[in-house]
């Protein structure tokens, strides 16, 4: 990222840049545009019109009005509610760790038990409750009742429920909070591309997915995130103070400060300040890499499924435990075919 002010930021990738306009959207710009803008150059009519159309006058190379921070020890708690975890005293945890948002993955088939569980939730800093229903039939009336809880902002349901629900009968504000997910989706790569000011700031210092996250599994294991392999304790055997000690440990926070700038491939990607990536990073000396390829190839600016997309391997990018290499000739050749010889 070359600069940031309150309205927009620009992130340079391998062969193009993106303008992240916090008030509008994300737009791709050619490589060199940010330099032109920062140096206040003149003479390129296309760039000048773009600057004028988007009112990009307040940019300053050193402008950086917001450094991400949070008073929460854990901003996001994810808990699987199973027969093992439903009796875990949740409010003391929320208060001890000053949790901002909780995601309840509800695995039990009792509607009543979920409502009872929600009455037990309170946290001084809690702002949002997100519910994921795994395997329980629900109807519009029940969903409306859940939404009467002031902190419930979103309820995610299996995609198979979509046909049987008539969301029109639910209040508009509530129906907008309902989303559907595919339970068969197993990919660890889950990207959210959002032009969020907070996300951009967090991405400069932290991993936007693993940072300040805590997961309690259906079998009561304490982990950083559902994708993590390391288990730190059984929640039934520790109290809140011990849990706080765990989340403050170096081992628990292993991935929190792994930024995309420190990850091979991602550091060449123009989306690196606005993407939330669930893959576990692997360390190679001072750098990090991923074992699975992302759905986006930043060397040719193509998403999987788009015409012309090829994998990183085919592009000539080797990112492994041993090495990181870019076959520049092959990358240039592919880009010529894709973008110049139309």
Q: Which residues bind ligand SF4 (CB under 6 A)?
A: 191, 260, 265-266, 269, 271-272, 275, 277, 294, 296, 298
Q: Which of residues 47 and 299 has its CB atom nearest to ligand SF4 in the complex?
A: 299
**Shortest distance (Å) from residue 189 CB to ligand SF4:** 7
Nearest approach in angstroms of CB 275 to ligand SF4 is 3
| 8-state DSSP, 236 | G
Token pair of 121, please? 């939730």
> What would the two tokens of residue 65 be?
């009005």
Please say whether the beta carbons of 225 and 95 come within 8 A. Answer: no
Closer Cβ to ligand SF4, 266 or 326, answer by number: 266
CB of 296 to ligand SF4, least distance (A): 4
Q: Give me 87's structure tokens.
A: 């009796």
3-state helix, strand, coil in the chain (%, to 5): 25, 25, 50
Handedness of CA 30, 31, 37, 40 (dihedral sign): negative
Task: Please count the other Cβ atoms lying within 10 Å of the Cβ belonging to residue 259.
Answer: 21
* Choice between 252 and 296, CB closer to ligand SF4: 296
Q: Which residue has the tokens 């994810």?
A: 78
What is the DSSP secondary-structure string of 240-284? HHHHHHHHTSTTTTTTTT--GGGBTTGGG-TTTTSEE--SPPEEE
Quickly tell me which residue has 């940019």 as its tokens: 59
Q: How far is the CB of 17 from ligand SF4 (least distance, A)?
A: 13
Nearer Cβ to ligand SF4 (215/289): 289
Give the E-state strand segments of the chain in sequence order: 3-4, 8-12, 16-21, 26-30, 76-81, 101-106, 128-133, 152-158, 178-181, 192-193, 213-216, 221-223, 233-234, 275-276, 282-284, 287-289, 296-297, 302-303, 317-319, 324-326
CB of 186 to ligand SF4, least distance (A): 17
Q: Which is nearer to ligand SF4, 82 or 267 (CB)?
A: 267
Instruction: Output 105 or 290, the one with its CB closest to ligand SF4.
Output: 290
Give the nearest distance from C-beta 203 to ligand SF4 in angstroms.
9
Q: How far apart are CB 277 and ligand SF4 at their closest, in Å?
A: 4
185 or 341, CB closer to ligand SF4?
185
């Amino acid at each position: 990222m070359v600069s940031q002010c309150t309205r927009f930021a620009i992130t340079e990738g391998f062969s193009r840049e993106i303008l992240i306009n916090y008030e509008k959207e994300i737009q791709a710009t050619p490589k060199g545009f940010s330099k032109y803008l920062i140096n206040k150059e003149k003479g390129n009519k296309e760039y000048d019109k773009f600057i004028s159309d988007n009112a990009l006058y307040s940019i300053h190379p050193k402008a950086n009005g917001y450094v991400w921070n949070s008073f929460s020890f854990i901003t996001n708690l994810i808990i699987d509610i199973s027969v093992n975890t439903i009796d875990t005293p949740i409010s003391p945890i929320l208060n001890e760790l000053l949790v901002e948002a909780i995601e309840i993955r509800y695995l039990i088939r009792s509607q009543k038990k979920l409502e009872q569980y929600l009455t037990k939730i309170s946290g001084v800093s809690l702002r949002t409750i997100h519910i994921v229903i795994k395997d329980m039939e629900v109807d519009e009336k029940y969903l409306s009742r859940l939404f009467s809880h002031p902190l419930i902002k979103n309820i995610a349901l299996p995609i198979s429920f979509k046909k049987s629900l008539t969301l029109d009968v639910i209040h508009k504000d509530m129906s907008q909070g309902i989303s559907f997910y595919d339970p068969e989706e197993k990919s660890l790569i889950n990207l959210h591309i959002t032009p969020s000011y907070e996300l951009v700031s967090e991405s400069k210092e932290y991993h936007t997915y693993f940072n300040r996250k805590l997961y309690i599994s259906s079998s009561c294991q304490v982990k950083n995130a559902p994708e993590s392999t390391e288990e730190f304790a059984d929640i039934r055997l520790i109290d809140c103070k011990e849990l706080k000690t765990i989340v403050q440990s170096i081992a628990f926070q292993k991935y929190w400060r792994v930024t995309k700038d420190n990850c091979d491939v991602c550091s060449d990607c123009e989306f690196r300040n606005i993407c939330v990536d669930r893959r576990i990073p692997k360390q190679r000396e001072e750098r990090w890499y991923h074992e699975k390829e992302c759905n986006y190839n930043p060397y040719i600016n193509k998403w999987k499924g788009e015409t012309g997309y090829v994998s990183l391997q085919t592009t000539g990018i080797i990112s492994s435990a041993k090495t990181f290499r870019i076959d520049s000739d092959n990358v240039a050749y592919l880009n010529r075919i894709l973008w110049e010889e139309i």
